[in-house]
């Protein structure tokens, strides 16, 4: 599989856009939940959420559709995601176009729960290859 999976924690990893062919391998790697943070029809040819859900469930995965965009991410969305995360059986794989918005969403939950300051989260996520400097708007 050419899918780049980047762990953020022991129970949460992020990835760029997946394909239908990736789902069985994601399940085989031990992930229990798949979270789609990408709105449908964001770009041509992306896997529609309904099809991803069907394939994920057929592979034994829980599927959550939690679409966001980085520029319009709100504290209410962050709070809703923070409430959802503990309900998900891990390990969890979240995906979007590149993995950046999933990383931003996770970091925003950490920031709003007071687990780490923005500069530390931005640095730690940058070391994993994602620019989430927009996190500062939640600080």
CA 23 to chain centre: 15
Query: What does DSSP assign to residue 137?
Result: G
Interval 45-97: pLDDT, tens: 999 999 999 999 999 999 999 999 999 999 999 999 999 999 999 999 999 99
Interior/surface letters 37-73, b for 16+ CB within 10 angstroms, e for the rest: bbeeeeeeebbebeebbebbeebebbbbebebebeeb
pLDDT at 139 > cutoff 90 = no
Phi, psi angles (nearest 5°) of residue 114:
75, 20
pTM of the model: 0.96
Instruction: State percent of the chain over pLDDT 90.
Output: 97
Q: What is the CATH number of domain 6-138?
A: 3.90.190.10
């Amino acid at each position: 599989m050419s899918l780049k999976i980047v762990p953020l924690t022991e129970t949460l990893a992020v990835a760029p856009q997946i394909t239908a062919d990736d789902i069985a391998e994601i399940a085989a790697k031990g992930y229990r939940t798949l979270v789609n943070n990408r709105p449908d029809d964001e770009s041509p040819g992306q896997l529609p959420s309904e099809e991803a859900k069907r394939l994920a469930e057929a592979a034994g995965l829980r599927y959550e559709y939690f679409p966001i965009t980085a520029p319009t991410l709100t504290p209410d969305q962050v709070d809703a995601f923070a409430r959802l995360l503990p309900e998900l059986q891990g390990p969890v794989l979240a995906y979007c176009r590149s993995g950046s918005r999933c990383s931003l969403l996770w970091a925003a939950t950490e920031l709003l729960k007071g687990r780490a300051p923005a500069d530390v989260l931005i640095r730690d996520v940058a070391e994993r290859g994602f620019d989430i400097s927009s996190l500062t708007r939640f600080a």
